[in-house]
């Protein structure tokens, strides 16, 4: 995960609100914002954290009159400058009323630190015994350093094409965050994943070429780009579905080639299905959830498949889809199902049961009747690492319009107190912008369900 530090005058309420909004925007983009309130704990060394900021690869500077007159902020700014590549590493936000662009505007800041250094030197001179003043003299050296570097630092910052806070807020800091972590176009990312999959399966690739010719489409050497350029629903239904059937039909399910071809087809299905997710809608939902302080995204989807696709897209991981025998719904392999709910349960009994469901999904070989504190610690650590490394996709889907103890947001507040690393996804079937770019979500789920049944319908279940 990309990390970015922020250097700002944290005693000013206006700057705290700005950094709060920046933190929300960073989280929505999968960027970690490291700031004093989330990183610096009671008793920790402030100087050590400022040195960490100074060495940071990316540092947002919230520039104001207060910033340039703050001991802490100037210490951070000088440390950033000492660690080279200053212009590349800093991302300035110039607050309104901050005047640094004209040479004459910069003189008051040089005068300020010249005066601060002179005042401290005068105070030291008044001491009858100059011993035991090492730290005060170090502070005097720092003030002199601030004065010495101020001209150079202000000149570089004034030369950088920066934006005001109003522009940053209106655009959710898009320009700044694009500079910190340039966005890969998601469709390009999906095409690259599919290209890698098809490179391992000539049989599936040849079948796709044939299906495209049958559909009247010009053959293309880059099959992955061609598939991703189409609307995902017809790409799945009209191309990948029949191509997979044609590729598997002549093979014996006991052959390794059958297994490999089917695995490749399922992987292509997984990545292509993510293109039905409305990325703009997902981004808006993420920002609204973060600004409101809610537990998770509230997304408008009708099916468990919709929850899986949206949450997979958010996690940037391919969905793992399954259909339970005799069931109509397509769900995620690692979805945590709601346990059977007894109307007489209190919250604690329901929580215990749900936590055990999570444990059983993460550690299926280690059965538990109850979980110890050590078990909870192990469970949270496993969830945290799996999410960060994108090796698994555990989550709990919650239908918000269903009346049940297990659908109340306050119930999940209590769950998150025990399992802060679990993902909770609230969804509702109506109201708001749909998260999927399909006209009939249930029909799309039917396409996926029938695709996953291809070996069965061929009579070749491996």
Domain boundary among 132, 149, 180: 180
pLDDT recorded at residue 288: 63
Residue 383 lies in a domain: yes
For the ranges 66-70, 162-166, 420-424, the maximum mean pLDDT occurs at: 66-70
pTM of the predicted structure, to 2 decimals:
0.61
pLDDT at 343: 61
In this structure, are strands 32-34 and 59-63 parallel, antiparallel, or unpaired? unpaired
Of the pLDDT bands very low, low, confident and very high (cuts 50, 70, 90), residue 75 is very high
Does 364 lie in the same domain as 249? Answer: no
Residues 270 and 328 in one domain: no
Instruction: Give pLDDT, residue 292.
Output: 46
Asked whether residue 462 is domain-assigned, the answer is no
Residue with tokens 């104001």: 64
Residue 444 lies in a domain: no
299 and 391 inside one domain: yes
**At residue 268, does pLDDT exceed 90?**
yes
Mean pLDDT to the nearest integer, 219-238: 87
Residue 202 lies in a domain: yes
Q: Assess whether pLDDT exceeds 80 at residue 96.
A: yes
- Spell out the long-range contacts of 53-56 with Cβ–Cβ below 8 A and sequence spacing 24 or more: 53/5, 53/7, 53/79, 53/80, 54/78, 54/79, 54/80, 54/82, 54/83, 55/79, 55/83, 56/3, 56/4, 56/5, 56/80, 56/89
- Region 322-327: mean pLDDT is 85
Residue that is last in its domain, among 131, 160, 180: 180
- Size of the chain in residues: 462
The reply to whether 102 and 123 lie within a common domain is yes
How many Cβ atoms are within 10 Å of 277's Cβ, its own excluded? 23
443: in domain: no
Instruction: Write the pLDDT tens digit of every residue in 31-56.
Output: 889 988 877 788 889 899 999 999 99
**What distance in Å separates the CA atoms of residue 332 and residue 159, rounded to the nearest whole number?**
51
Is residue 285 pLDDT above 80, yes or no?
A: no
- 442 within a domain of the structure (yes/no): no
Beta sheet of 395-399, edge-to-edge order: 298-300, 423-428, 395-399
Please check whether residues 64 and 11 belong to one and the same domain: yes
What end-to-end distance do the CA atoms of the chain give, in Å?
38
Strand bridging mode 321-323 / 395-399: unpaired
In a shared domain, residues 302 and 413: yes
Assess whether 432 and 296 both reside in one domain. Answer: yes
**Domain-located, residue 255:** yes
**Predicted local distance difference test score (pLDDT) of residue 289:** 58
Share of the chain above pLDDT 70, in %: 93
Which domain does 222 fall in, by range?
Answer: 186-276+451-457
Q: What pLDDT shows up at residue 132?
A: 82
Give the pLDDT score at 295: 47
Last residue of a domain, one of 164, 180, 196: 180
* pLDDT value of position 293: 47
Count up the domains in the chain and report the number.
Answer: 3
Assigned token pair, 390: 């994108």
Q: What is the pLDDT of residues 393-413, one digit of tens each?
A: 899 888 876 666 667 778 888
CATH number of the domain enclosing 155? 3.40.50.10140
Helix (H, G, I), strand (E, B) or coil at 23: helix
Query: Could you tell me which residues are beta bridge partners of residue 423?
Result: 395
Distances (CA, A) of 161 to 105, 166, 302: 17, 15, 45
Higher pLDDT, 251 or 408: 251
Average of per-residue pLDDT across 173-198: 86
Q: Give the integer Cα–Cα distance in Å for 312 and 299.
A: 13
Do 134 and 193 lie in one domain? The reply is: no
The CA radius of gyration of the chain, in Å to the nearest whole number, is 28
Q: 97 and 14 in one domain?
A: yes
Beta-bridged to residue 62, according to DSSP, are: 93
Is 422 part of any domain? yes
Closest CA to 311 of 387, 365, 249, 378: 387
Indicate the average pLDDT of the chain: 87
- The pLDDT tens digits for 332-370 are 999 998 777 666 677 888 889 899 999 999 999 999 999
Instruction: Kindly state whether residues 284 and 355 are assigned to the same domain.
Output: yes
Q: Are residues 328 and 200 in the same domain?
A: no
The verdict on 125 and 16 lying in the same domain is yes
- Segment 98-129, tens digit of pLDDT: 999 899 999 999 999 899 989 988 888 888 88
Predicted confidence (pLDDT) at residue 287 exceeds the cutoff of 90: no
Which tens digit of pLDDT belongs to each residue from 290-321? 554 444 567 889 899 999 999 898 888 999 99
């Amino acid at each position: 995960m990309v990390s970015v530090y922020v250097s700002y005058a944290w005693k000013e309420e206006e700057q705290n609100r700005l950094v709060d909004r920046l933190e929300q925007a960073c989280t929505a983009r999968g960027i970690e914002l490291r700031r004093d309130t989330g990183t610096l704990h009671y008793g920790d060394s402030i100087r050590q954290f400022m040195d960490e900021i100074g060495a940071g690869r990316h540092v947002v500077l919230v520039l104001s009159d207060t910033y340039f007159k703050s001991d802490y902020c100037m210490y951070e700014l000088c440390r950033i400058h000492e660690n080279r590549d200053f212009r590349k590493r800093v991302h300035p936000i110039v607050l309104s009323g901050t005047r640094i662009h004209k040479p004459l505007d910069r003189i008051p800041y040089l005068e300020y630190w010249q005066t601060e250094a002179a005042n401290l030197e005068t105070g030291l001179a008044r001491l009858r015994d100059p011993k035991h003043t090492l730290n005060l003299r170090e502070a005097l050296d720092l003030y002199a350093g601030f004065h010495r570097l101020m001209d150079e630092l202000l000149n570089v910052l004034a030369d950088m094409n920066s934006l005001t806070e109003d522009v940053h807020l209106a655009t959710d800091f898009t320009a700044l965050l694009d500079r910190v972590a340039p966005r890969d176009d998601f469709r390009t990312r999906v095409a690259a994943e599919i290209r890698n999959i098809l490179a391992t399966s000539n049989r599936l690739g040849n079948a796709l070429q044939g299906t495209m010719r049958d559909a009247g489409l010009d053959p293309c050497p880059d099959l992955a780009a061609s598939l991703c350029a189409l609307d995902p629903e017809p790409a799945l239904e009209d191309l990948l579905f029949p191509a997979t059937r044609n590729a598997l039909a002549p093979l014996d399910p006991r052959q390794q080639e059958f297994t490999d071809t089917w695995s490749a087809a399922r992987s292509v299905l997984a990545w292509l299905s993510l293109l039905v997710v409305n990325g703009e809608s997902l981004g808006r939902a993420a920002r609204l959830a973060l600004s409101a302080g809610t537990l998770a995204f509230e997304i408008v989807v009708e099916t468990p498949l919709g929850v899986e696709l949206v949450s997979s897209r958010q996690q940037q991981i391919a969905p793992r889809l399954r259909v339970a025998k005799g069931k109509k719904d397509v769900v995620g392999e690692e979805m945590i199902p709601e346990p059977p709910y007894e109307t007489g349960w209190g919250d604690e009994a329901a929580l215990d049961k749900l936590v055990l469901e999570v444990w059983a999904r993460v550690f299926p070989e280690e059965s538990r009747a109850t979980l110890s504190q050590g078990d909870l610690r192990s469970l949270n650590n496993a969830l945290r690492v799996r999410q960060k490394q994108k090796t698994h996709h555990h989550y709990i889907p919650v239908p918000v319009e269903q009346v049940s103890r297990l659908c109340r947001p306050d119930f999940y507040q209590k769950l998150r107190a025990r399992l802060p690393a679990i993902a909770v996804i609230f969804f509702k079937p109506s109201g708001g912008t749909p998260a999927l770019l399909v006209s009939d979500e249930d029909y799309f789920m039917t396409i996926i369900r029938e695709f996953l049944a291809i070996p069965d319908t061929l009579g070749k279940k491996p």
